[in-house]
Amino acid sequence: MVTQEDFERARNDVAYRNRFVDEIELNSTRKYVKKVIYELKNRVISLDGVPAAMQSCPPLRAYFGLSGGKSTIKIFPRAFLPTVHLKLDDFLSTLIDHEAFGHSRLAFEGVDPFLPQEVGVMYEHIERLQKRNCSEQYRDQVLIELRKLLTGARKEC
Ligand SMILES: [Zn+2]
């Protein structure tokens, strides 16, 4: 289990981030996720030029509609910026409510885990984050992302 203090430490101490991500409890989403890794180099840049904070990498079988595979979730340095995740619950909401319950679960079910599903993933993400102690800033940001998606301003996960 990780605490708000651990999250603050991981924000300030890059060397601690691998251990921090290892200690996160995935609870019931564990069955969809092979591993969570911290990746210093982020090659995933979205169309609006913003680097991703996290990314689910589905197992190959999911691309062939085969169920039962587990995803790897990558966490990039941007996930530790206060402008992206102000609180631990913001960070956990992106990781668990969006990546694990959303993309990784769909991949596990053998559904194309990406673009066609993003709106549904976002709606569930918003529903699940209500149960967390997220910051106002984060809640607003998630709603803005959904609006961008619905208006076609955003085209990727
Ligand atoms: Zn997504």
**How remote is the CA of residue 56 from the centroid of ligand 1, in Å?**
8
**pLDDT in the model for residue 27:** 93
- pTM of the predicted protein model: 0.92
Surrounding ion ligand 1 within 5 Å at CB are 157
CB contact set of 13 (below 8 Å; sequence gap of 6+): none
Using the CB atoms, write b or e for 18-51: b if 16+ within 10 Å: eebbeebebeebeebbeebebbeebebeeeeeee
- Ligand 1 midpoint to CA 119 (Å): 8
Residue 38 has a pLDDT of 97
pLDDT in tens, 9-66: 999 999 999 999 999 999 999 999 999 999 988 777 665 667 789 999 999 998 888 9
Confirm if 96 and 75 have CB atoms less than 8 A apart. no
